[in-house]
Amino acid sequence: MSGDWRTRVSRLYPVLLAGGAGAGLWPMSRLLYPKQFQPLAGERSLLQQAALRFAGRRDFAPPVVVCHHEHRFIVAEQLGDANVPPFGILLEPEIRETGIATLVAALMLRKRDPDAVMVLMPTDQTIADPASLEAAIDNAVPAVLDGRIVLLASRGGAETPRHFALAVDKVQDKKTGLSSVSAVGGRASDGAIGKEADGRLLFSDILLVQAARLIELMAKAHPELSKAANDAVAAGGRDLIFYRLGDDAYQAAPSVSVEALLAEHLAKKDLSLIEVDMGWRDFDSWQTLWAAGPRDEDDNAVFGDVITHDTSNSLIRADRALIATLGVKDLVVVATDDVVVVADRGRLGEMRKMVSDLRAAGRREADAHSRSYRPWGHIDSIAVGENFEIKMLSVRSHASLALQLHHHRAKHWVVVSGTARVTRGDRILVLSENQSIFIPIGMPHKLENPGKLPLKIVQVQSGTYFGSDDVIRIDEPYRRPARPTRRRAGEEEGAGEFAPAEARAGEGKAGGEGRAGEGKAWEGKPGTEGR
């Protein structure tokens, strides 16, 4: 990157918003494991792709990630797998609109670096041409240091109707492409601004602003939001490698998006834009995934084990079982291991409403997959019946479950692969493949993976009650709060533990306590963390 802004600030701070629920891509994307943590375009997840865009550059700090507290270990694990130690991970107590998430990130950054420049970006999009993005950022920074908010925009091609359209007043700098903004507002689908289908400028959800300047502007433009953000930061505190924001203050914040703040609360004189052709694509719905391709000669986007005959203009995704289609068109067919969806492509905008209806009906499938994620690994549900459950536990290297006991269930563990160290009462045993152990009701027990390879355990539980409040943790290495939720046999542990605000809807290599220099941006001397 070129330019002379480094004489005024040493580095920029990527701020990654990773708190969305992704209901438009249900059932693949669900509340407990939404789209930003999945590899929709490439081998890495969308979060990892965003985190890696500026990894290793001396003029960019490691990323700040804002996510829901239930996703914290997923975020930490994925950043660890991508070898991107975070500057900090801020935990939302509730999934909210992007306004409050952006402002708390600005407040935290200003505490660490009074001159901090934020590069705000979502984690549900891909950038095909990162060099063009970097050049646009380079051109934007001088204007940001002069007190402006610079928005990055593209002409059409985003294939999603939810983005706000922008209107250009006049070009301020022909060399950098910096322009003033005459209007922000109206989603692209409304045709309120830029009615030409291919000529409209759409806000890419990427913007640059100096943290202190954003805080100053929002204190005047939206005092209620500003107060809530300040209160949430003040009431928060460190939790392992994370910073947990104050619960009551965060949930009391007005539900307002960044786009709405730009359109309704900030003066146009404070805004500039740079048009950039960076191959930006947002994954907002199955329609956007179909448009992203690749598609066959009949315009079908096919994923997984699929056979099509006389099928056209459709998206078909099979996660496990074979899907065969015959004589259909304009459909979306998605089959996970627990849900099958068949939808008219023209009605995909109603997907979020369907998910809300499922949630209101108390259906587990609205929010939880059959695979659930834990700080130590993940659990796959295999079978559920009268007074029994069968699951596969996958425990990462050197990770462990809490020492615990149960009053209403017994367990039988069978080692499928790897090495297990099992605490059973006052005994510690080491089990290898094909060995097993029985844990009776009331017996304190703990499962650990002392080896370098993943540990896989088949767990058979038998009993009369499988609620999470029957998990009596004697120690808690991950500081998870007790959850007094009652659960019938067959309901997934962890399902329904949190719900999104309707408006916007780990540990891994980072380790339980974090590696040196990771996740400690809110302590110590400024400018030294996260290197």
SS3 308: strand
Burial (0-12, 13-18, 19+ Cβ within 10 Å), 457: buried
Which residue in the block uniquely carries the two structure tokens 């039988």? Answer: 412
Separation CA 34–CA 15 (nearest Å): 19
Predicted pLDDT of residue 405: 95
This prediction's pTM: 0.80
Query: Which positions of the chain have pLDDT values less than 50?
Result: 1-2, 188-199, 483-518, 523-531
Q: Which two tokens stand for residue 332?
A: 């979306």
DSSP state letter for 264: I
Give one DSSP letter per residue of 327-379, joined into a string.
Answer: EEESEEEEE-SS-EEEEEGGGGGGHHHHHHHHHHTT-GGGT--SEEEETTEEE
Predicted pLDDT of residue 486: 38
Buried b (16+ CB within 10 A) or exposed e, 295-325: beeeebbbeeebebeebbebbbbbbeeebeb
Predicted pLDDT of residue 198: 42
Q: Are strands 404-405 and 472-473 parallel, antiparallel or unpaired?
A: antiparallel
Q: What is the 3-state secondary structure (H, E, C) of 10-37?
A: CCEEEEEECCCCCHHHCCCCECCECHHH
Separation CA 518–CA 515 (nearest Å): 5
Predicted pLDDT of residue 31: 87
Q: Is the peptide bond before 294 cis (omega within 30 degrees of 0)?
A: yes
The CA–CA distances, whole Å, from 71 to 43, 82, 236, 486 equal 20, 17, 17, 21
Domain map (residue ranges) of the chain: 5-284, 287-363, 369-494
Burial (0-12, 13-18, 19+ Cβ within 10 Å), 453: exposed
Predicted pLDDT of residue 244: 94
Class of domain 5-284: alpha beta
DSSP state letter for 188: G
Predicted pLDDT of residue 517: 37
Q: Which fold has domain 369-494?
A: Jelly Rolls (2.60.120)
Predicted pLDDT of residue 410: 96
